[in-house]
Amino acid sequence: MNNQTPAGTGKNQNQNKNQNQAKGNTNTDIPDGDHWKAKINGAKQQWSKLQQEELVSTAGDSDQLSSLVQKRYSMNKADADKQVEAFFNKH
């Protein structure tokens, strides 16, 4: 029987959430670094006005990403939040 935890679940994911909370970040929807790096290309396709460096700097934080989308695409916060939420639900 394989006792390894599947990628993206269990111990590593919980450790990342705990690390984010320890840093004062209460947004527990943030993917860990490797998962976010895998999603950056999709984010670049969806929001072509965002630069790679900007996407990396958000570290997958939905609030930071939403703020970037809001500013770059001159949209209100609610619409940017909806787009970001839809992106994370899809990816």
Q: What is the DSSP string of the chain?
A: ---PPPTTSTHHHHHHHHHHHHTT---TTPPPHHHHHHHHHHHHHH-TTS-HHHHHHHTT-HHHHHHHHHHHTT--HHHHHHHHHHHHHH-
In CATH, what class is 33-90?
mainly alpha
How do the pLDDT tens digits run along the chain, 91 residues long?
Answer: 444 444 444 443 344 444 444 444 444 455 566 789 889 999 999 999 999 999 999 999 999 999 999 999 999 999 999 999 999 999 8
Q: Please tell me the predicted confidence (pLDDT) of residue 76.
A: 98
Question: Model-level pTM greater than 0.85?
Answer: no
